[in-house]
C-alpha cells in the first residue's frame, strides 16, 4: 500500500475592496493599457483595515473545511505559506490555529515568497507520507499591499491580497499514476539571485520595508526555470505533458504563464488563469487559482494537475497531483 496526500477540500478568501487598473492613473504615470498588455492584470483585491494575512487564511481554511465536511479538530497540522505574516512572530499559522479553534496539533509558516505554496504542499506531503500527520491544512495567504511602495509604478500595480487553502488527507493508494493525491514534488532555490527580488526591511532595519524587483530580470529566469521544474516533477511522477489536464501556475504575469505553457507543449485552454482578477498574490496565487478553478467547473476529481511557481530567493518548484 502506498500512502498519498489527497485533496479533501479547497477554499479561498478575497477582500471585498477591488481596485481596477484605472485607479492608479490618478497617482502614477501609468495606464490600464500598459498594465494589461505587460502583465495581463486588470484588477486586484486589497485588504481593508482588520483584514490580515491570518484572518484571510482562516476564512479560506474554513471554506476548505466546509467543502470537506470536517471540523478544525479533525486537522493535525496547519501550514501557512506567506511572506507577509501579521507579526514577525508568532507565525501566522499559530494565529490561524487559534482562530479556527483547534485544541491540538501543530502549526508553522513557510517562507519561500511566491513559491511558498509549492514548498508548503511538498512539506505537507512529507508529513503525511512519514506518518507525522493525517490531515494537513495548507494555506497560502498574503497582504502584499502592506509592502508596496505606492510611488514605484514598476511594482505596486502588479500585486494583490488574498488567501487560498487546501486540506490534504492521508489515503491509501495503489502506488500508480492513477492514484488521487500528490504524485511528485520538485523544489529549488538559488540565493545568489537575492538582488532581483527582495524587501528592503526586516529585523535588521527595524522597518517592515518595501518590495523591490528587477522585473525584467526575474522574467528572464521565470519561463526557463518553471518549465524545467515542471518537467522534473512530471518525470518523477511518471507522467508527461500529454497526461496533464490542467496547469495551475503561479499567477504573476500572463506572458510568463503563456511562455511556460508553450515550452511545456500545452495549449492555454489547459491552463487555469486568474491573474486578470487577482494580480500577483504571491504564495496565495496557486491555492486561489485551484479554488477558483474548481468553482468555475474547470478542475474535476481525477484530473491530473501540475502547479509551478517562482519567486524571491530565487526559489522555485512544482507539484504534480491528481485532484
- 229 versus 282: smaller Cβ distance to ligand ACO: 282
Q: Which is nearer to ligand ACO, 31 or 177 (CB)?
A: 31
In this complex, which beta carbon is closest to ligand ACO, that of residue 167 or of residue 283? 283
Q: What are phi and psi of 93, to 5 degrees?
A: -65, -40
- Torsion from C-alpha of 83, 87, 89, 91, nearest 10 degrees: -60
Cell of 232: 522534473
Side-chain half-sphere CA neighbours of 158 within 13 A: 21
Contact present, 166 and 9 (Cβ < 8 Å)? yes
**Smallest distance from ligand ACO to CB 83, Å:** 7
Distance of closest approach, residue 158 Cβ to ligand ACO, in angstroms: 6
Least distance in angstroms from the C-beta of 6 to ligand ACO: 28
Judge whether 45 counts as a catalytic residue: no
Cα(289)–Cα(296) distance, rounded to whole angstroms?
A: 10
Q: Which residues of 152-172 are buried (b: 16+ CB within 10 A; e: fewer)?
A: ebebbbbbbbbbbbbbbbbbe
Chain residues binding ligand ACO by CB under 6 A are: 30, 34-35, 38-39, 113-114, 153-154, 157-158, 197, 215-216, 218-219, 222, 252-253, 256, 280, 282, 311-312
Comparing CB distances to ligand ACO, the nearer of 196 and 305 is 196
From the candidates 12, 114, 231, 278, which is the catalytic residue?
114
Instruction: State which residue, 244 or 256, has the beta carbon closest to ligand ACO.
Output: 256
Give the bridge partners for 6, in sequence order: 169
Return the SS3 of 134.
coil
Kindly tell me which of 38 and 146 has the beta carbon lying closer to ligand ACO: 38
Least distance to ligand ACO, CB of residue 280, Å: 6
250 flagged as catalytic: yes
Q: Which of 12, 45, 250, 278 is catalytic?
A: 250
Contact yes or no for 124/79 (Cβ under 8 A): yes
Rounded distance between C-alpha atoms, residue 212 and residue 196, angstroms: 8
Q: How far is the CB of 104 from ligand ACO (least distance, A)?
A: 33
**Least Å distance between CB 297 and ligand ACO?**
28
Say whether 114 is catalytic: yes
Cα 256 to Cα 55, 268, 303: the distances in Å are: 30, 12, 23
What CA–CA distance (Å, rounded) separates 283 from 142? Answer: 7
Active site residue ranges: 114, 250, 280
Amino acid at each position: 500500500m502506498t500512502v498519498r496526500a489527497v485533496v479533501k477540500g479547497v477554499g479561498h478568501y478575497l477582500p471585498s475592496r477591488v481596485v481596477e487598473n484605472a485607479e492608479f492613473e490618478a497617482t502614477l504615470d501609468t495606464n490600464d493599457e500598459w498594465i494589461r498588455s505587460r502583465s495581463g492584470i486588470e484588477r486586484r483585491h486589497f485588504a481593508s483595515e482588520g483584514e490580515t494575512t491570518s484572518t484571510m487564511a482562516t476564512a479560506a481554511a474554513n471554506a476548505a473545511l466546509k467543502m470537506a465536511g470536517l471540523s478544525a479538530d479533525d486537522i493535525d497540522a496547519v501550514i501557512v505559506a506567506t511572506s507577509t505574516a501579521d507579526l514577525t512572530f508568532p507565525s501566522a499559522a499559530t494565529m490561524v490555529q487559534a482562530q479556527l479553534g483547534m485544541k491540538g496539533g501543530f502549526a508553522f509558516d513557510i517562507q519561500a515568497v511566491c513559491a511558498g505554496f509549492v514548498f508548503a504542499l511538498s512539506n505537507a506531503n512529507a508529513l503525511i507520507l512519514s506518518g507525522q500527520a493525517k490531515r494537513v491544512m495548507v494555506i497560502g495567504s498574503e497582504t502584499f499591499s502592506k509592502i508596496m511602495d505606492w510611488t514605484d509604478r514598476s511594482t505596486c500595480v502588479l500585486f494583490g491580497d488574498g488567501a487560498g487553502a487546501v486540506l490534504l488527507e492521508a489515503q491509501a493508494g495503489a502506488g500508480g499514476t492513477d492514484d488521487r493525491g500528490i504524485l511528485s514534488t520538485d523544489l529549488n532555490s538559488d540565493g545568489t539571485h537575492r538582488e532581483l527580488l527582495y524587501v528592503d526591511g526586516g529585523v535588521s532595519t527595524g522597518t517592515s520595508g518595501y518590495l523591490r524587483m528587477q522585473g525584467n530580470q526575474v522574467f528572464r529566469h521565470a519561463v526557463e526555470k518553471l518549465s524545467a521544474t515542471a518537467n522534473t516533477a512530471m518525470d518523477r511522477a511518471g507522467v508527461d505533458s500529454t497526461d496533464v489536464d490542467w496547469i495551475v501556475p503561479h499567477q504573476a504575469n500572463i506572458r510568463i504563464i503563456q511562455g511556460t505553457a508553450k515550452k511545456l507543449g500545452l495549449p492555454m485552454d489547459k491552463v487555469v488563469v486568474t491573474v486578470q482578477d487577482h494580480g500577483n498574490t504571491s504564495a496565495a496565487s496557486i491555492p486561489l487559482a485551484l479554488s477558483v478553478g474548481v468553482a468555475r467547473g474547470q478542475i474535476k476529481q481525477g484530473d491530473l494537475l501540475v502547479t509551478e511557481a517562482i519567486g524571491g530567493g530565487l526559489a522555485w518548484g512544482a507539484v504534480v497531483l491528481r485532484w
